[in-house]
A and B are shown apart, each in its own frame.
Chain A
Amino acid sequence: MTLLLEPFHYAFMQRAFVAALAVGLLCSTMGTYVVLRKLSFIGDGIAHASFAGIVIAYLRGANFYIGAGIVAVLTAVGIGFVHRRGRISLDTTIGVLFTGMFALGVFLMSQQRSYAVDLQSFLFGDILAVQPQDLWLILGLSVVVAVTVAVLFRGLLYTTFDPVVAQASGINSPAYEYALLVMLALTIVVALQAVGIVLVAALLVTPAAAAYQLTSRFSPMMLLAALFGAASTEGGLYLSYYVRASSGATIVLLATLLFFLAIGLKHLRRA
């Protein structure tokens, strides 16, 4: 018993579990929109682009959340703008923007070798390094995003299913799209420390995709996605303590396992 509870004895582990819970709930809730609006590539793009923001914040001695946050929101809004106005296709835009921004981050980092170790943790995530002030920021942003989703719930649902008819009926579909992209950017920034840039897209897509296999209505899908997300982050973090593996990788592997179980369950039900 003491062995099973051992992870919870350390303050840094307690912080990690709280942060993991918030990140799991947040990513998978937003993931419901990401999956249904087919935005998974955007999530990946924003996460990579924000790397440049993190590096610039480091070099200037500023808070990396602020650096990542500004770049992530600008990238999200920029992608949304090009999507609406541009003549270039969306995936091309994201492809250009995110590789360019990521390269800028790597370029700046490579000039400052002493910072390389810290930045490494942002690529692959280190939830065990969450500090008390990080935790407050994570919880604060989680509340902001959760309240916004609750307030905009009907409009987000309608514009996700049918943005054109929603707009004809008087709902401002572009405004909802921008609001969603900004929330997505904030979510990604919050998730960066937990699972890292490389794996954040998985947490945005996999739990919601698993829930999509098992539900036929929107709200149950969102709730089940949140459950899968929280189970993946909490379970993954707990397991990683015993198997002495990277917490980010363990979390994503658990989420992936849940996804394949969901597919299996769906086929069992049909049979």
Chain B
Amino acid sequence: MVARDLDVRYDDFTALVGATFAVHYGEALGIVGPNGSGKSTLLKTIAGLLLPSSGELSVLGQPPRKLAPGTIAYVPQVEAVDWSFPATVWDVVAMGRFARMHFWQRFDSSDRDVVHHALSVVSMAELAGRQISNLSGGQQQRAFVARALAQEPRLLLLDEPTTGVDAATEEALRKIVRELVADGLPVLMATHDLDRVDDWFDRLLVLDRRVLALGTPREVVESGAYSAIREHTHTHGHLRHDHEPHAAHAAHPEMRA
């Protein structure tokens, strides 16, 4: 995945300016930054949900919307859906197969095998028949990750998957990510959790509407950009640029990731 000089605008508000970076096979790239820094915007743009207003973006050599169905799996924050929807865990994970299927194709045994495997990777196989309204936050997150895996994607995007989950689920997710990366899958993950970044990621991208730093966790820490983010994340929750008034964020609640 390659982004070159990427800008994303909502109306007259620029959410992302001149982002240039790449993600390689078998690499976990962590995106860190304060609230409103454009982490979610960046992931949504790569997922093809938003169009860049300028710059270049290609995934496997193609713009996201030109890719074959199923190529990119996007895992949003769990609040994005209504969990009272009439479905079991199995039903939700099975949806991961839908992008690749034509209407005349049956949901056959190979599809069921993929769904079952995805469920066991996230340790949810015994909960397959459970109604999704009866899941904990951690189980919801695991179900979402399993749905993404059932899609058999070639690029995985995770939006703050550790928010609101218990420590056991967080560690389980970290292991899953590391295993997927070891198998060669590129993973991009937004996180506000700045502890243990070197256990999670091969490289870090520090974002505050523009790329402030990019490198291994160690390089980023040494660059100083990381500690600035850390400071501000812990105090104000946001970095301010004097030439970009803070009020602009308030006018766009969508941007408060």
Contact between B49 and A167, CB atoms less than 8 A apart: yes
B131: interface (CB < 8 Å): yes
B167: interface (CB < 8 Å): no
A215: interface (CB < 8 Å): yes
Among B86, B151, B153, max chain A CB count under 10 A is at B86
Pick from A151, A161, A168, A216: contact of B73, CB below 8 A: A168
Minimum C-beta distance from A242 to chain B (A): 36
Given contacts A155-B98, A218-B86, contact A165 B103 (CB under 8 A): no
Minimum C-beta distance from A121 to chain B (A): 36
- Report the Cα distance A161→B83, complex, angstroms: 9
Q: How many A-B residue pairs have CB under 8 A?
A: 86
Contact between B49 and A154, CB atoms less than 8 A apart: no
Contact between B48 and A158, CB atoms less than 8 A apart: no
Contact between A158 and B103, CB atoms less than 8 A apart: no
Identify which of residues 73-123 in chain B touch chain A, using a CB-to-CB cut-off of 8 Å.
73-76, 80-82, 85-88, 91-92, 95-96, 98-99, 101, 103
| Chain A window 61-76, contacts with chain B (Cβ cutoff 8 Å), 1 for yes, 0 for no | 0000000000000000
Pick from A161, A162, A168: contact of B49, CB below 8 A: A168
| Chain A window 153-172, contacts with chain B (Cβ cutoff 8 Å), 1 for yes, 0 for no | 11101101110111111110
The interface-forming segment of B27-35, B64-72, B192-200, B244-252 is B64-72
Among B76, B85, B88, max chain A CB count under 10 A is at B85
Contact between B76 and A218, CB atoms less than 8 A apart: no
| Chain B window 233-249, contacts with chain A (Cβ cutoff 8 Å), 1 for yes, 0 for no | 00000000000000000
Minimum C-beta distance from A207 to chain B (A): 14
Contact between B71 and A217, CB atoms less than 8 A apart: no
Among A153, A154, A171, max chain B CB count under 10 A is at A154
B206: interface (CB < 8 Å): no
Contact between B81 and A169, CB atoms less than 8 A apart: no
A152: interface (CB < 8 Å): yes
Report A-chain residues with C-beta under 8 Å of the C-beta of B74: 164-165, 168-169
Report B-chain residues with C-beta under 8 Å of the C-beta of A217: 86-88, 91
| Chain A residue at smallest Cβ distance from B65 | A170
Pick from A155, A160, A161, A165: contact of B76, CB below 8 A: A165
Given contacts A161-B92, A162-B80, A165-B74, contact A171 B99 (CB under 8 A): yes
Contact between B95 and A152, CB atoms less than 8 A apart: no
| Chain B residue at smallest Cβ distance from A155 | B98
Pick from A150, A169, A220: contact of B72, CB below 8 A: A169
Minimum C-beta distance from B51 to chain A (A): 12
A221: interface (CB < 8 Å): yes
Pick from B70, B80, B85, B88: contact of A169, CB below 8 A: B70
Which 4 interchain pairs have the tightest Cβ spacing?
A170-B69, A168-B74, A168-B47, A169-B99
Inter-chain pairs besides A36-B85, A160-B85, A161-B87, 12 sampled, C-beta below 8 Å: A150-B103, A157-B98, A161-B81, A165-B75, A165-B144, A168-B49, A169-B72, A171-B98, A217-B86, A217-B87, A218-B86, A218-B91
